[in-house]
A = this chain, B = another copy of it.
């Protein structure tokens, strides 16, 4: 790795820890890899990033929100495919007992090791003669390792459960509630912020690859034939993007051009790319170091049919911050099938249509003896069903009431006949398709810090660090300094500080050291504006306000400060 990037990373890592943004967890006990804690500045920065995210997706796009459980029972991940598919391959050393991700051992020896199957990895490791990086011993064959954290709920053996690897499944398993609360129409979207977990075999790269992380996900549900979001595409048509389509070269285009030229085909996905670009740049990702890259077929997740990643150029190289994937009906279909609950929604045609339909007609004399008390309910369910309820083996599966809930019943072929008839059909039941923008909040927070990091030369030639955080995400809105702590200036400054805090602004009061040192400390902490109370303040109730990035200063009346700082900061 080039040393300049390594330097930036070290400097930002050290700054982040020193100023209370973030640091590795559990240092008191020697640390545990893959876990980070957010300090006072980091917690506020992260919350401000999340708040802007909510403003765009919930406030402007009208997504409805969910906050669902982190511990989920096995059934959820059986249906989602995570129990089978969410895995990496681990090799271990017989001599020193170290474990490694198999693909990591092939870095530099193979162009794309993380796309290899278990068998291909095994072969490559032998061909390349890979040994244990710790002790040089022989290594085992790759074994599958599921990346979910397992636990058990309840006493004794308890119930098998996992920490969720993504927030998305919480949305899918609540789909029926959410569709009702979204007023039963398509498209509609659900947004969720929260923790996710991934039991990495050997986490590296600081906060870029965590075992416990913060996510922000949107699941937008569409009619299968109409992937078009309700927002107005013209809003983002002129948004400038850097795109890397399907293994091709980088192109600079507007979103409108990308759609016209067919670089992007999925209109909903394209619209979300527009919102994502605005979000990332808004919180402080440098647009010069931001691009959207389309996934190659080989790297797509098990559920995705098209996917564009927002990637930022970091000291770690190009790094995924956001994945925007078309998941089709993969998830809803799996939950629909596994749970036995009908997750299809009824979509009305513009006008009723005459159609030939296949209906199931119950054969009552067969139903009675078989289903006894349930026979009437089964007959009704058969009449409401259509040919799609009949499986390959000729039996029909229908749902009948059972207590407060429902129950699935298998009905043998002799209990009904199939009849074709022409009916006026008012609509159809469909499984919605999903486009998912999924945001890695920790990586975004890191990127904001790394891209905000700059140096300027001070008056005496020394290098000064300036953290150019955008005002809307800066953890501290404004610094408040008395020029000197005498002549009553400190009393006025404390009043100014109290007034700003009373209006909900976060302030940093600093009365110690030279005013230059205090500006420097505020610059390093990313505070966008500093207010200084000087001797003139006693005479005309005015103060100076200084911009971090330009170092310009103007005088303002104290009575205007709250409104001015809020307006300058882009806060409501």
Give the interface of A toward B (CB within 8 A).
Answer: 17, 20, 23, 25-26, 28-29, 32-40, 42-44, 46, 55, 59-60, 64-73, 75-76, 90, 92, 99, 145, 149-156, 158-159, 161, 163, 170, 173-174, 176-178, 181, 195, 197, 199-202, 211-212, 335, 339, 341, 501, 503-504, 506, 572
Contacts and interface: CB of A to CB of B under 8 A. Distances in A.
A99 B176 CA distance: 32
A17 B178 CA distance: 11
Given A199-B154, A501-B59, A66 B38 contact: yes
Contact of A197 (B39, B46, B71, B339): B71
B341 A28 contact: yes
Contacts of A59: 501, 504, 506
B26 A38 contact: no
A71 B153 contact: no
A504 B66 CA distance: 19
Contacts of A212: 69-71
Which among A55, A60, A155 has the greatest number of chain B C-beta atoms within 10 A? A155
Given A28-B341, A71-B197, A503-B572, A181 B39 contact: yes
Given A59-B506, A170-B37, A20 B177 contact: yes
A524 to B, nearest CB: 14
Contacts of A177: 17, 20, 23, 39
27 contacts: A20-B177, A28-B173, A28-B341, A29-B73, A29-B75, A33-B154, A36-B69, A37-B66, A37-B68, A38-B68, A39-B66, A39-B174, A39-B181, A40-B65, A43-B65, A46-B67, A55-B504, A59-B504, A70-B195, A70-B212, A71-B149, A90-B156, A99-B154, A149-B151, A151-B151, A152-B199, A154-B199
Contacts of A501: 59-60
B71 A211 contact: yes
A562 to B, nearest CB: 9
Contacts of A506: 59
Nearest to A148: B151
Contacts of A72: 26, 32
A571 to B, nearest CB: 8
Contact of A37 (B39, B149, B174): B174
A149 to B, nearest CB: 5
At the interface, is chain A mostly helix, strand, loop or mixed? mixed
A26 B73 contact: yes
A465 to B, nearest CB: 17
Contact of A40 (B35, B66, B149): B66
Given A39-B177, A161-B32, A503-B572, A145 B149 contact: no
A36 B69 CA distance: 7
A181 B199 CA distance: 31
A201 B163 contact: no
A69 B99 contact: no
A308 B28 CA distance: 31
B28 A339 contact: yes
A29 B155 CA distance: 20
Leading 10 A-B pairs by shortest Cβ distance: A504-B572, A40-B64, A38-B67, A29-B75, A37-B68, A43-B65, A20-B181, A43-B67, A35-B69, A99-B155
Nearest to A22: B67
A242 B348 CA distance: 58
Given A65-B44, A71-B197, A99 B149 contact: no
Contacts of A69: 25-26, 35-37, 212
Contacts of A159: 32
A33 B154 CA distance: 9
Contact of A156 (B25, B92, B149, B156): B92
Which among A75, A151, A152 has the greatest number of chain B C-beta atoms within 10 A? A151
Nearest to A60: B501
Given A70-B212, A71-B212, 16 more contacts: A25-B69, A26-B72, A26-B73, A28-B174, A28-B341, A29-B76, A32-B153, A33-B154, A37-B68, A37-B170, A39-B178, A40-B178, A43-B66, A71-B149, A149-B152, A155-B201
Nearest to A63: B40
B65 A154 contact: no
A189 to B, nearest CB: 11
A46 to B, nearest CB: 7
Nearest to A100: B155
B29 A339 contact: yes
A161 to B, nearest CB: 7
Given A32-B73, A155-B90, A504-B572, A25 B149 contact: no
Contacts of A40: 64-66, 178, 181
A153 B203 CA distance: 11
A314 B456 CA distance: 59
Contact of A76 (B26, B36, B44): B26
A211 B153 contact: yes
Nearest to A214: B67
